[in-house]
Amino acid sequence: MTKVACIGECMIELKQAGDGLFSRFYGGDTLNTAVYLARLGIGTDYITALGDDTLSDEMIAGWAVEGVGTARVSRLAGKLPGLYMIQTDEKGERRFFHWRESAAARSLMDLPETAAILDSLASYDIVYLSAITLSLYNDAGRARLFAGLRRAREGGARFAFDTNFRARGWPDLNVARAVYREAFRLADIILASTEDLLPLYPGETHDGLLARIPGGEVVLKLSEPASILRLGGVLHRTKAEPLTRPVVDTTAAGDSFAAAYIAARLAGAGPVESARAGHAMAGVVVCHPGAIIPRTAMPAISDKATP
């Protein structure tokens, strides 16, 4: 079975429910991608650290129901998962508030089982993580993770890097730029966006942003519903189909794009067709509140891929 490992953090999610109330669920960029990958028929494990509390128990049970593998989730005594709250405006644009400084996931690269977790990455077809994942760890932790990714690639795995940027996680932008450069050099697939990269490289053009990314397979999502792909030095522009429903919440638009893109590539589709699949998936997700849409809202899985 094709397998993907998603590395990152899942948090308790509070989202607006009206009348000043909030509903509770869970989410996190890489976890969102893992769930959508599993729903798209891709065997997916989630790699993270959680506490030994009932909320962490609830998360693991929920991931298992979604078909996401949890065997590589570390449980830390006395720790808790992080928490975030989403506020959305009338256009569906979101604002996040986080409480995560002491979350269990931040310890993942410093555990007795860390070496075994990193050694396991070579058993996957694709290892996926985001810049938010990298922001969780200190310099030594990131160095361990990058070394594990290098060994995994030597063993045949591919590394997919999502540029998902949150300024709160990078108080020093020079550190962020250095970490991004390292990830760009190492990644086989880079899923980028102007929204993520312009805070790091203000005023840069699309061509300028692409020039900063040395990877052979790069998707740059634009501010409009379109993307530029670079494969083997050749550029392709892909536009999303117009939405037929109003945008409700843009949370997880990029995460679901990543899942559909990776799923399509693993099924044998070319990058242009895979980007179309990503835009289509994101177009469904933004029409629903929260990071994870109802299963009944998922688009049908195509049994054909375009090479």
Tokens coding 200? 């790091």
Domain with residue 211: its CATH number is 3.40.1190.20
In a domain, 57, yes or no: no
What pLDDT is stored for residue 36 in this prediction?
97
Look at residue 55 in the predicted model and tell me its pLDDT.
Answer: 95
> Residue 185 belongs to what domain range?
3-9+30-46+116-297
Global pTM reads 0.93
3-class secondary structure, 288 = coil
246 inside domain:
yes
Residue recorded with tokens 């570390």: 74
**215 CB-near residues (< 8 Å, 6+ apart):** 184, 187, 188, 189, 190
Provide the annotated active-site residues: 255
DSSP 221: E
Alpha helices (H) in the chain, listed in sequence order: 29-39, 54-66, 114-120, 131-135, 139-154, 173-186, 194-197, 206-211, 253-266, 271-285
What pLDDT does residue 301 have?
Answer: 62
Tokens matching residue 44: 């997916």
Q: What angle do CA 229, 232, 235 make, to 5 degrees?
A: 35
Q: What pLDDT, on the 0 to 100 scale, is given for residue 1?
A: 52
d(CA 169, CA 135): 6
Q: How far apart are CA 12 and CA 54, in angstroms?
A: 12
pLDDT of residue 287: 92
Residue with tokens 């509903």: 23
In a domain, 158, yes or no: yes
Domain tally, the chain: 1
The strand pairing partners of 25, in sequence order, are 13
**Residue 209 lies inside a defined structural domain of this protein:** yes
List the pLDDT tens digit at each of the 307 positions of the chain.
579 999 999 999 887 777 888 888 888 999 999 999 999 999 999 999 999 999 999 999 999 999 999 999 999 999 999 998 877 777 767 677 888 889 999 999 999 999 999 999 999 999 999 999 999 999 999 999 999 999 999 999 999 999 999 999 999 999 999 999 999 999 999 999 999 999 999 999 999 999 999 988 999 999 999 999 999 899 999 999 888 888 887 878 999 999 999 999 999 999 999 999 999 999 999 998 878 899 999 987 654 433 3
pLDDT at 135: 97
Residue 91 placed within a domain = no
For residue 104, tell me if it sits in a domain.
no
Whether 81 is in a domain gets the answer no
250 neighbors 286 (Cβ within 8 angstroms): yes
* Confidence (pLDDT) at 306: 36
Mapped onto helix, strand or coil, the DSSP state of residue 3 is: strand
Residue 13: what pLDDT?
85
pLDDT for res 303: 43
- Please report whether residue 126 resides in a domain: yes
Sequence letter at residue 302: S
pLDDT at position 96: 78
